[in-house]
Amino acid sequence: MPRGEGPPEPIDAEKRAAAIEFHYAIADDPVFTVTLEADDQVRVLHLAGDLDMMSAPVFIEQFRHSIHSPAVTIDMTSVTFMDSTGIAALLTARRQGIAEGWTMTLRGLRPNVARVLSITGLDAILTAES
């Protein structure tokens, strides 16, 4: 089997419980972070900074392998800006969820980010907590 194909490694309980932080940095100044919390029931991604063309690949990296939780919550409380690549990244995650059978919920949308989703009509497609 070629390298990179096949099932992902199972995540053991110790790794699930650990918070893993990924940073995207420009000139040693972290402008976007993804902090992961996971257990058997939900995987929570806490995003902070701008979800844009520079940071969207960092977000999408979280979905490179199958999600082994029935639900994913994306905490966007600290997302200060989102452009079209951020929208595309959210839709990529949603498509993966549909394909793998897990649900995705957005949490803590700031008014400017909620407005982007509203203008694009994605507020009718993506599930968001109030």
Which pLDDT score is estimated for 62? 84
Which pLDDT score is estimated for 20? 42
Which pLDDT score is estimated for 12? 52
**Cβ 71 vs Cβ 43: under 8 Å:** yes
Q: Residue 46's domain spans which residues?
A: 16-128
130 residues of the chain, pLDDT tens digit each: 444 555 555 555 454 444 444 444 444 446 888 888 888 889 999 999 999 999 999 899 888 777 878 999 999 999 999 999 999 999 999 999 999 999 999 999 999 999 999 999 999 999 999 6
Task: Tell me if 5 is assigned to some domain.
Answer: no
Dist CA 55 CA 52 (whole Å): 5
Domain count for the chain = 1
Q: Quickly count: other Cβ atoms within 10 Å of residue 111's Cβ.
A: 8
For the chain, give percent helix, strand, coil, nearest 5.
30, 35, 35
Task: Tell me if 70 is assigned to some domain.
Answer: yes
Dist CA 83 CA 81 (whole Å): 7
Task: Tell me if 2 is assigned to some domain.
Answer: no
**Cβ 77 vs Cβ 60: under 8 Å:** no
Which pLDDT score is estimated for 30? 62
Dist CA 109 CA 75 (whole Å): 8
Which pLDDT score is estimated for 115? 96
Task: Tell me if 60 is assigned to some domain.
Answer: yes
Which pLDDT score is estimated for 40? 80
CATH number at residue 33: 3.30.750.24
Task: Tell me if 10 is assigned to some domain.
Answer: no
Which pLDDT score is estimated for 61? 87
Task: Tell me if 59 is assigned to some domain.
Answer: yes
Task: Tell me if 43 is assigned to some domain.
Answer: yes
E strands present in 39-126? 42-51, 71-82, 103-107
**Cβ 41 vs Cβ 74: under 8 Å:** no
